[in-house]
């Protein structure tokens, strides 16, 4: 046991991302708990996210539902969160998501709008939020955030959240600039090559319009192209773009939890080249190393891909559920595999 623990029970910080298509981050935490608590570990649950889908889970889950304008212009029911601390958490995917538009096949990439996300932001401000966090990811639109900007200004009588002393933060995990949004993300939203050209020209014009009408120049702003340019739209509204992992880690107190940890379990669906580039696993590993003492870190994943950074993998215990339990079990009984992996790999 390390000197960091003052009680008999060893402290295990459980800070995973979701296993996309299989388990949410809180469900991963519970699967780890099932394997660790019987062995005498005290669990510190910290479900994580790096921006976009999964943000709500990291902050405790949705506790509100609002009817807003979906990406196709029809009403949708969008879940969001407002905590007692005044922090509101919104996922753009819940109001303006590609899934809501029927996926790439059902989406109209030219007409898709971020208006509903703006409605949620305005509602959070009106409901008494002092900080609004918007997770960017999984969006249907490439409208440069124009829908969201219009919705907020219309509903708040021309005011931005900052005019009402509300801090607006956007969590993103990409560095794409505003005018590249359609080029980078348009095809996955169903845009044809011709539509990508049209959307790019529209974003270029909108960037000029934002500069002329709002005094905000998005040229070169990293992350401005996130969620089809919604990142840039939120900057126009006075928001600040932040790496999603950093924002979540600060909000949930990752560093403080690690100061008491004897071991850490993190993970995601697939460990690959991007896992150590602003993603949860790499961020948790770096935060553990920053404690200045050796804290064993176990990274669970459905698969560990060949392109995963070998040097970084050497700094932790990487467990491929597919390799240990078979691909079928890894996919169909992910929670059970996680529990068994924890039992096998936690320090004795």
Lookup: tokens for 206: 């909108």
- 3 state DSSP class of 280: helix
Burial of 271 (0-12, 13-18, 19+ CB in 10 A): buried
Place of tokens 């340019």: 229
6 band by pLDDT with thresholds 50, 70 and 90? very low
Give the separation between CA 341 and CA 10, rounded to whole angstroms: 18
**CA–CA distance, 14 with 22 (Å, rounded to integer):** 18
Going across the sheet that includes 64-69, the strands are 64-69, 75-82, 87-91, 131-135, 167-172, 240-243
Q: Residue 8's pLDDT band (boundaries 50, 70, 90)? A: low
Least Cα distance to 53 among 4, 30, 20 occurs for: 20
Dump pLDDT digits (tens) for 101-121.
999 999 999 999 999 999 999
Mean pLDDT of the chain: 94
* Domains defined for the chain, CATH in brackets: 10-46+254-345 (3.40.50.10350), 55-246 (3.90.1510.10)
Cα 113 from Cα 166, distance rounded (Å): 24
Beta strands in 144-256 (DSSP E): 167-172, 240-243
Average pLDDT over residues 169-187: 94
CA angle, residues 297, 289, 133, in degrees to nearest 5: 90
Locate 95 and state its tokens.
């109001």
pLDDT tens across 60-113, in order?
Answer: 899 999 999 999 999 999 999 999 999 999 999 999 999 999 999 999 999 999
345: exposed, middle or buried (Cβ count in 10 Å: 0-12, 13-18, 19+)? middle
pLDDT digits (tens, 9 = 90+) for 10-50: 999 999 999 988 999 999 999 999 999 999 999 999 999 98
Structure tokens at 199: 């959307």
Nearest to 117 by CA among 244, 196, 227: 227
Q: What is the pLDDT of residue 4?
A: 43
Q: What is the pLDDT of residues 269-300, one digit of tens each?
A: 999 988 988 889 999 999 999 999 999 999 99
Residues 6+ apart with CB under 8 A from 117: 68, 90, 92, 95, 96, 134, 147, 148, 151, 230
């Amino acid at each position: 046991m390390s000197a960091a623990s003052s009680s008999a029970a060893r402290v295990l910080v459980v800070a995973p991302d979701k296993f996309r298509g299989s388990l949410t981050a809180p469900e991963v935490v519970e699967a780890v708990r099932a394997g660790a608590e019987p062995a005498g570990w005290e669990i510190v649950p910290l479900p994580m996210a790096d921006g976009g889908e999964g943000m709500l889970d990291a902050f405790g889950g949705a506790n509100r539902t609002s009817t807003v304008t979906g990406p196709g212009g029809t009403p949708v029911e969008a879940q969001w969160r407002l905590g007692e601390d005044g922090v509101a958490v919104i996922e753009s995917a819940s109001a303006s998501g590609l899934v809501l538009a029927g996926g790439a096949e059902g989406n109209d990439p030219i007409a898709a709008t971020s208006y509903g996300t703006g409605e949620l932001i305005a509602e959070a401000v009106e409901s008494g939020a002092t900080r609004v966090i918007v997770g960017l990811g999984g969006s249907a639109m490439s409208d440069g955030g124009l829908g969201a900007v219009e919705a907020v200004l219309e509903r708040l009588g021309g005011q931005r959240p900052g005019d009402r002393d509300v801090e607006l933060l956007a969590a993103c995990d990409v560095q794409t600039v505003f005018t590249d949004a359609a080029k980078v993300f348009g095809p996955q939203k169903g845009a044809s090559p011709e539509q990508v050209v049209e959307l790019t020209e529209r974003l270029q014009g909108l960037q000029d319009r934002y500069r002329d009408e709002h005094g905000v120049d998005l040229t070169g702003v990293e992350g401005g192209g996130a969620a089809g340019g919604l990142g840039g739209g939120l900057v126009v509204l006075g928001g600040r773009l932040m790496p999603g992992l950093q924002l979540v880690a600060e909000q949930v107190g990752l560093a403080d939890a690690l100061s008491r940890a004897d071991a850490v379990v993190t993970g995601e669906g697939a460990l690959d080249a991007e896992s150590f580039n602003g993603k949860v696993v790499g961020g948790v590993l770096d935060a553990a190393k920053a404690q200045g003492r050796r804290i064993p870190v176990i990274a669970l994943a459905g698969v560990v891909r060949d392109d995963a950074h070998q040097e970084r993998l050497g700094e932790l215990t990487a467990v491929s559920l597919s390799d240990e339990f078979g691909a079928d079990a890894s996919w169909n009984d992910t929670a059970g595999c996680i529990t068994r992996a924890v039992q096998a790999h936690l320090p004795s």
